[in-house]
Structure 1
Amino acid sequence: MTVTRLDQAQLSASVDELAGLLVDTVDGGASIGFLAPMDHAAAVSWWKERATAVAAGHLAVWAAHDGHRVVGTVSLAFPDKPNSCHRAELVKLMVHRDTRGQGLGRRLLDTAEKAARAAKITLLHLDTETDSPAERLYGSAGWTRAGVIPDYAADPAGVLRPTTLYYKRLEPTT
Protein backbone atom coordinates (compact mmCIF):
# COMPACT_ATOMS: atom_id res chain seq x y z
CA MET A 1 0.00 0.00 0.00
CA THR A 2 1.15 3.50 -0.74
CA VAL A 3 0.43 6.49 1.46
CA THR A 4 0.55 9.89 -0.19
CA ARG A 5 -0.22 13.43 0.87
CA LEU A 6 -3.01 14.87 -1.25
CA ASP A 7 -2.91 18.39 -2.62
CA GLN A 8 -6.15 20.17 -3.53
CA ALA A 9 -6.28 18.72 -7.06
CA GLN A 10 -5.54 15.18 -5.89
CA LEU A 11 -8.15 15.43 -3.15
CA SER A 12 -10.71 16.73 -5.63
CA ALA A 13 -9.90 13.90 -8.04
CA SER A 14 -10.27 11.32 -5.25
CA VAL A 15 -13.51 12.50 -3.61
CA ASP A 16 -15.55 9.52 -4.81
CA GLU A 17 -13.05 7.01 -3.39
CA LEU A 18 -12.61 9.02 -0.19
CA ALA A 19 -16.40 9.16 0.14
CA GLY A 20 -16.56 5.38 -0.20
CA LEU A 21 -14.08 5.05 2.66
CA LEU A 22 -16.06 7.50 4.79
CA VAL A 23 -19.31 5.59 4.16
CA ASP A 24 -17.64 2.27 5.03
CA THR A 25 -16.12 3.71 8.21
CA VAL A 26 -19.35 5.26 9.48
CA ASP A 27 -21.54 2.32 8.48
CA GLY A 28 -19.01 0.07 10.24
CA GLY A 29 -19.72 1.84 13.53
CA ALA A 30 -16.81 4.27 13.87
CA SER A 31 -17.77 7.48 15.60
CA ILE A 32 -16.11 10.13 13.44
CA GLY A 33 -18.81 12.77 13.38
CA PHE A 34 -21.52 11.26 11.19
CA LEU A 35 -24.67 9.20 11.64
CA ALA A 36 -25.39 5.90 9.89
CA PRO A 37 -26.41 5.07 7.33
CA MET A 38 -24.01 7.48 5.64
CA ASP A 39 -25.21 8.77 2.29
CA HIS A 40 -22.52 8.57 -0.42
CA ALA A 41 -23.52 11.93 -1.92
CA ALA A 42 -23.23 13.58 1.50
CA ALA A 43 -19.80 12.00 1.94
CA VAL A 44 -18.70 13.34 -1.47
CA SER A 45 -19.91 16.80 -0.50
CA TRP A 46 -18.08 16.65 2.84
CA TRP A 47 -14.79 15.73 1.15
CA LYS A 48 -15.23 18.44 -1.50
CA GLU A 49 -15.50 20.99 1.31
CA ARG A 50 -12.11 19.83 2.65
CA ALA A 51 -10.36 20.88 -0.60
CA THR A 52 -10.55 24.57 0.34
CA ALA A 53 -8.87 23.94 3.70
CA VAL A 54 -6.16 21.87 1.97
CA ALA A 55 -5.53 24.68 -0.53
CA ALA A 56 -5.31 27.23 2.30
CA GLY A 57 -2.83 25.09 4.24
CA HIS A 58 -5.20 24.60 7.18
CA LEU A 59 -5.57 20.87 6.54
CA ALA A 60 -3.16 18.17 5.40
CA VAL A 61 -4.69 14.91 4.12
CA TRP A 62 -2.95 11.61 3.44
CA ALA A 63 -4.58 8.70 1.64
CA ALA A 64 -3.56 5.05 1.55
CA HIS A 65 -4.17 3.19 -1.72
CA ASP A 66 -4.11 -0.56 -2.20
CA GLY A 67 -3.62 -0.17 -5.96
CA HIS A 68 -7.33 -0.11 -6.71
CA ARG A 69 -8.92 2.23 -4.21
CA VAL A 70 -8.44 4.43 -1.17
CA VAL A 71 -8.40 2.18 1.91
CA GLY A 72 -7.29 4.63 4.58
CA THR A 73 -6.82 8.28 5.40
CA VAL A 74 -5.61 10.60 8.13
CA SER A 75 -5.52 14.38 8.39
CA LEU A 76 -3.87 17.10 10.41
CA ALA A 77 -5.85 20.28 11.09
CA PHE A 78 -3.72 23.36 11.73
CA PRO A 79 -5.11 26.22 13.85
CA ASP A 80 -5.21 29.69 12.34
CA LYS A 81 -4.34 31.62 15.50
CA PRO A 82 -0.82 33.05 16.09
CA ASN A 83 -0.59 31.56 19.58
CA SER A 84 -1.25 28.02 18.40
CA CYS A 85 1.08 27.51 15.44
CA HIS A 86 3.01 24.90 17.46
CA ARG A 87 0.13 22.43 17.54
CA ALA A 88 -2.21 20.48 15.26
CA GLU A 89 -5.20 18.21 15.65
CA LEU A 90 -5.12 14.67 14.29
CA VAL A 91 -8.50 14.11 12.60
CA LYS A 92 -10.37 11.49 10.58
CA LEU A 93 -8.04 8.52 10.88
CA MET A 94 -10.00 5.93 8.88
CA VAL A 95 -9.18 2.43 7.69
CA HIS A 96 -11.53 0.44 5.46
CA ARG A 97 -13.09 -2.49 7.33
CA ASP A 98 -11.60 -5.11 5.02
CA THR A 99 -8.03 -3.84 5.53
CA ARG A 100 -8.08 -3.48 9.31
CA GLY A 101 -5.68 -5.50 11.42
CA GLN A 102 -2.80 -5.14 8.93
CA GLY A 103 -1.03 -2.19 10.56
CA LEU A 104 -2.43 0.49 8.26
CA GLY A 105 -3.85 2.58 11.11
CA ARG A 106 -0.41 2.66 12.76
CA ARG A 107 1.24 3.51 9.45
CA LEU A 108 -1.13 6.42 8.85
CA LEU A 109 -0.62 7.65 12.41
CA ASP A 110 3.17 7.44 11.99
CA THR A 111 2.92 9.33 8.68
CA ALA A 112 0.98 12.19 10.28
CA GLU A 113 3.33 12.36 13.26
CA LYS A 114 6.42 12.44 11.02
CA ALA A 115 4.90 15.23 8.89
CA ALA A 116 3.98 17.18 12.03
CA ARG A 117 7.56 16.96 13.29
CA ALA A 118 8.88 18.13 9.92
CA ALA A 119 6.47 21.10 10.12
CA LYS A 120 7.88 22.00 13.56
CA ILE A 121 4.65 20.98 15.32
CA THR A 122 5.49 20.11 18.93
CA LEU A 123 2.04 19.10 20.18
CA LEU A 124 -0.66 16.95 18.62
CA HIS A 125 -4.10 16.35 20.09
CA LEU A 126 -7.19 14.35 19.18
CA ASP A 127 -10.44 13.04 20.52
CA THR A 128 -11.87 9.59 20.02
CA GLU A 129 -14.85 7.65 21.27
CA THR A 130 -14.13 6.21 24.71
CA ASP A 131 -13.58 2.42 24.68
CA SER A 132 -13.28 2.34 20.89
CA PRO A 133 -10.64 0.25 19.11
CA ALA A 134 -8.87 3.51 18.27
CA GLU A 135 -8.01 4.01 21.93
CA ARG A 136 -5.76 0.93 21.85
CA LEU A 137 -3.92 2.33 18.83
CA TYR A 138 -3.29 5.73 20.39
CA GLY A 139 -2.25 4.28 23.72
CA SER A 140 0.20 1.84 22.13
CA ALA A 141 1.64 4.67 19.98
CA GLY A 142 2.65 6.73 23.00
CA TRP A 143 -0.25 9.16 23.16
CA THR A 144 -1.24 10.44 26.62
CA ARG A 145 -4.82 10.23 27.78
CA ALA A 146 -5.87 13.68 29.04
CA GLY A 147 -9.41 12.95 30.16
CA VAL A 148 -12.94 11.97 29.25
CA ILE A 149 -15.92 14.17 28.39
CA PRO A 150 -19.28 12.44 28.96
CA ASP A 151 -22.00 12.50 26.28
CA TYR A 152 -19.68 14.38 23.91
CA ALA A 153 -21.01 13.13 20.58
CA ALA A 154 -23.53 10.73 19.13
CA ASP A 155 -22.14 7.53 17.70
CA PRO A 156 -23.30 6.43 14.22
CA ALA A 157 -26.45 4.93 15.77
CA GLY A 158 -27.28 8.28 17.40
CA VAL A 159 -26.43 7.25 20.98
CA LEU A 160 -24.55 9.86 23.03
CA ARG A 161 -21.11 8.54 23.95
CA PRO A 162 -18.16 9.87 25.92
CA THR A 163 -15.00 10.95 24.16
CA THR A 164 -11.44 10.61 25.35
CA LEU A 165 -8.95 13.39 24.70
CA TYR A 166 -5.34 12.49 23.89
CA TYR A 167 -2.19 14.46 23.23
CA LYS A 168 1.36 13.72 22.15
CA ARG A 169 4.41 15.92 22.52
CA LEU A 170 6.75 15.80 19.52
CA GLU A 171 10.39 16.66 19.06
CA PRO A 172 10.81 18.50 15.74
CA THR A 173 13.12 16.99 13.14
CA THR A 174 16.32 18.89 12.67
Structure 2
Amino acid sequence: MTRDPVVEILPRDYDAAVPGLTGVLHACVHAGASVNFILPFPVEEARAFWTGKVAGAMQGGKRRLWVAREGDRILGCVMLDWDTPPNQTHRAEVTKMLVHPEARRRGLARLLLMRLLQGARDAGKTLITLDTTTGSAAQGLYAAAGFEVAGSIPQFSRAPLEDRLEATTYMYRML
Protein backbone atom coordinates (compact mmCIF):
# COMPACT_ATOMS: atom_id res chain seq x y z
CA MET A 1 0.00 0.00 0.00
CA THR A 2 1.44 3.40 -0.98
CA ARG A 3 1.55 6.26 1.48
CA ASP A 4 -0.82 9.19 0.90
CA PRO A 5 1.39 11.96 -0.55
CA VAL A 6 -0.79 14.75 0.91
CA VAL A 7 -0.53 15.61 4.59
CA GLU A 8 -1.65 18.56 6.66
CA ILE A 9 1.09 20.61 8.27
CA LEU A 10 0.04 21.48 11.80
CA PRO A 11 1.35 24.60 13.54
CA ARG A 12 3.72 22.52 15.69
CA ASP A 13 5.31 21.05 12.51
CA TYR A 14 5.37 24.26 10.52
CA ASP A 15 8.96 25.39 11.16
CA ALA A 16 10.32 22.05 9.92
CA ALA A 17 8.34 22.46 6.67
CA VAL A 18 9.60 25.97 5.88
CA PRO A 19 12.74 24.89 3.93
CA GLY A 20 10.69 22.64 1.63
CA LEU A 21 7.97 25.25 1.19
CA THR A 22 10.63 27.84 0.39
CA GLY A 23 12.07 25.63 -2.34
CA VAL A 24 8.66 25.02 -3.93
CA LEU A 25 7.69 28.70 -3.94
CA HIS A 26 11.06 29.78 -5.30
CA ALA A 27 10.99 27.19 -8.10
CA CYS A 28 7.38 27.95 -9.05
CA VAL A 29 7.93 31.70 -9.34
CA HIS A 30 11.04 31.11 -11.45
CA ALA A 31 8.94 28.82 -13.68
CA GLY A 32 6.36 31.59 -14.21
CA ALA A 33 3.75 31.04 -11.49
CA SER A 34 1.85 34.24 -10.87
CA VAL A 35 1.55 34.03 -7.08
CA ASN A 36 2.27 37.61 -5.97
CA PHE A 37 6.01 37.68 -6.70
CA ILE A 38 8.08 38.84 -9.67
CA LEU A 39 11.69 38.38 -10.74
CA PRO A 40 14.20 38.90 -9.38
CA PHE A 41 12.99 36.63 -6.61
CA PRO A 42 15.81 35.48 -4.33
CA VAL A 43 15.35 32.44 -2.13
CA GLU A 44 15.56 34.70 0.94
CA GLU A 45 12.36 36.47 -0.18
CA ALA A 46 10.61 33.11 -0.53
CA ARG A 47 11.74 32.11 2.96
CA ALA A 48 10.62 35.49 4.37
CA PHE A 49 7.12 34.91 2.98
CA TRP A 50 6.79 31.62 4.87
CA THR A 51 8.47 32.76 8.10
CA GLY A 52 6.72 36.13 8.18
CA LYS A 53 3.30 36.38 6.61
CA VAL A 54 2.23 32.74 6.82
CA ALA A 55 3.72 31.73 10.17
CA GLY A 56 1.55 34.16 12.14
CA ALA A 57 -1.66 33.06 10.43
CA MET A 58 -0.79 29.42 11.06
CA GLN A 59 -0.18 30.07 14.76
CA GLY A 60 -3.32 32.23 14.96
CA GLY A 61 -5.54 29.41 13.68
CA LYS A 62 -6.71 31.34 10.60
CA ARG A 63 -5.00 29.17 8.02
CA ARG A 64 -4.53 25.49 7.24
CA LEU A 65 -1.76 24.10 5.06
CA TRP A 66 -1.45 20.84 3.16
CA VAL A 67 1.65 19.61 1.38
CA ALA A 68 2.32 16.89 -1.16
CA ARG A 69 5.44 14.90 -0.36
CA GLU A 70 7.62 12.31 -1.95
CA GLY A 71 9.52 10.81 0.94
CA ASP A 72 10.65 13.79 2.98
CA ARG A 73 10.66 16.22 0.03
CA ILE A 74 7.82 18.72 -0.28
CA LEU A 75 6.64 18.84 -3.90
CA GLY A 76 3.58 21.06 -3.55
CA CYS A 77 1.30 22.92 -1.20
CA VAL A 78 -2.04 24.66 -0.82
CA MET A 79 -3.50 26.80 1.95
CA LEU A 80 -7.02 27.50 3.16
CA ASP A 81 -7.27 30.99 4.63
CA TRP A 82 -10.26 32.18 6.66
CA ASP A 83 -9.04 35.40 8.22
CA THR A 84 -12.35 37.03 7.32
CA PRO A 85 -14.62 39.73 8.80
CA PRO A 86 -17.38 38.64 11.21
CA ASN A 87 -20.03 38.62 8.47
CA GLN A 88 -17.99 36.20 6.32
CA THR A 89 -17.09 33.38 8.69
CA HIS A 90 -18.85 30.91 6.39
CA ARG A 91 -16.22 31.32 3.66
CA ALA A 92 -12.52 30.69 3.10
CA GLU A 93 -10.01 31.32 0.34
CA VAL A 94 -7.64 29.02 -1.54
CA THR A 95 -4.12 30.46 -1.53
CA LYS A 96 -0.69 29.39 -2.75
CA MET A 97 -1.65 26.33 -4.76
CA LEU A 98 1.86 25.35 -5.86
CA VAL A 99 3.42 22.26 -7.40
CA HIS A 100 7.16 22.17 -8.03
CA PRO A 101 7.85 22.27 -11.79
CA GLU A 102 9.69 18.93 -11.54
CA ALA A 103 6.58 17.26 -10.05
CA ARG A 104 3.82 18.53 -12.33
CA ARG A 105 1.44 16.32 -14.31
CA ARG A 106 1.29 13.69 -11.52
CA GLY A 107 -2.11 14.70 -10.13
CA LEU A 108 -0.66 16.35 -7.02
CA ALA A 109 -2.54 19.64 -7.50
CA ARG A 110 -5.84 17.77 -7.75
CA LEU A 111 -5.04 15.76 -4.61
CA LEU A 112 -4.07 18.92 -2.73
CA LEU A 113 -7.25 20.67 -3.81
CA MET A 114 -9.47 17.73 -2.83
CA ARG A 115 -7.86 17.62 0.62
CA LEU A 116 -8.36 21.38 1.01
CA LEU A 117 -12.05 21.11 0.08
CA GLN A 118 -12.54 18.34 2.63
CA GLY A 119 -10.76 20.44 5.24
CA ALA A 120 -13.05 23.37 4.42
CA ARG A 121 -16.12 21.16 4.87
CA ASP A 122 -14.75 19.87 8.16
CA ALA A 123 -14.26 23.47 9.32
CA GLY A 124 -17.90 24.30 8.49
CA LYS A 125 -17.13 26.50 5.49
CA THR A 126 -19.80 26.68 2.80
CA LEU A 127 -18.18 29.00 0.24
CA ILE A 128 -14.63 28.76 -1.13
CA THR A 129 -13.14 31.54 -3.26
CA LEU A 130 -9.89 32.02 -5.17
CA ASP A 131 -8.27 34.04 -7.89
CA THR A 132 -6.02 32.76 -10.64
CA THR A 133 -4.41 34.02 -13.82
CA THR A 134 -7.03 34.08 -16.56
CA GLY A 135 -6.59 31.20 -19.00
CA SER A 136 -3.97 29.42 -16.88
CA ALA A 137 -3.71 25.68 -16.37
CA ALA A 138 -4.73 26.35 -12.77
CA GLN A 139 -8.03 27.84 -13.96
CA GLY A 140 -8.76 24.57 -15.75
CA LEU A 141 -7.91 22.57 -12.61
CA TYR A 142 -10.28 24.67 -10.52
CA ALA A 143 -13.07 24.41 -13.09
CA ALA A 144 -12.68 20.62 -13.18
CA ALA A 145 -13.03 20.63 -9.36
CA GLY A 146 -16.38 22.42 -9.56
CA PHE A 147 -15.32 26.05 -9.19
CA GLU A 148 -17.34 28.56 -11.19
CA VAL A 149 -16.16 31.84 -12.66
CA ALA A 150 -17.44 34.92 -10.85
CA GLY A 151 -15.66 37.34 -13.19
CA SER A 152 -12.35 38.59 -14.49
CA ILE A 153 -10.37 41.77 -14.05
CA PRO A 154 -8.02 42.85 -16.87
CA GLN A 155 -4.48 44.05 -16.13
CA PHE A 156 -4.78 42.89 -12.52
CA SER A 157 -1.17 41.93 -11.79
CA ARG A 158 2.30 42.00 -13.25
CA ALA A 159 3.52 38.81 -14.88
CA PRO A 160 6.34 37.21 -12.85
CA LEU A 161 8.81 36.73 -15.71
CA GLU A 162 8.22 39.73 -17.99
CA ASP A 163 7.04 43.31 -17.92
CA ARG A 164 3.38 42.92 -18.83
CA LEU A 165 0.06 42.91 -17.00
CA GLU A 166 -2.18 39.84 -16.74
CA ALA A 167 -5.88 39.43 -16.12
CA THR A 168 -7.11 37.49 -13.11
CA THR A 169 -10.25 35.40 -12.83
CA TYR A 170 -12.16 35.13 -9.56
CA MET A 171 -13.78 31.76 -8.94
CA TYR A 172 -15.97 30.23 -6.24
CA ARG A 173 -17.38 26.91 -5.16
CA MET A 174 -20.26 26.22 -2.84
CA LEU A 175 -19.78 23.26 -0.50
TM-score by length of 1: 0.94
Mapped to 2, the partners of 1:123 and 1:80 lie a distance apart of 12
How far the C-alpha of 1:36 sits from its partner, in A, is 2.2
The 5-angstrom pairing of residues 69-148 of structure 1 reads 69-148=73-152
Query: How many residue pairs were aligned?
Result: 170
The structure 1 segments of at least 4 consecutive aligned residues displaced by more than 3 Å after TM superposition are: none
SS at match of 1:31: coil
Q: What is the aligned-residue identity percentage?
A: 38
Q: Which residue of 1 aligns with 2:168?
A: 163
Measured after TM superposition, the shift of residue 8 of structure 1 is 2.3
For residue 28 of structure 2, the aligned residue among 25, 29, 35 is: 25
Deviation of residue 131 (structure 1)? 1.1
**CA shift for structure 1 position 140:** 1.0
1:9 aligns with 2:12: yes
- Consecutive unaligned residues in structure 1, runs of 5 or more: none
With normalisation by structure 2, the TM-score equals: 0.93
Q: Deviations over 1:65-114 (max 9, x none)?
A: 10031100000110332111100000000001111111110000000000
Q: Distance in 2 between matches of 1:59 and 1:37?
A: 28
Contact preservation (8 Å) 2:153, 2:168: yes
Specify every segment of 5 or more residues in structure 2 that has no aligned partner in the other structure, as ranges: none
* RMSD between aligned residues: 1.1
Over 3 Å counting, the alpha-carbon distance change for 1:80 and 1:135 in structure 2 is: closer
Question: Aligned residue for 1:41?
Answer: 44
Question: Deviation at 1:51?
Answer: 1.2
Secondary structure in 2 aligned to 1:18?
A: helix
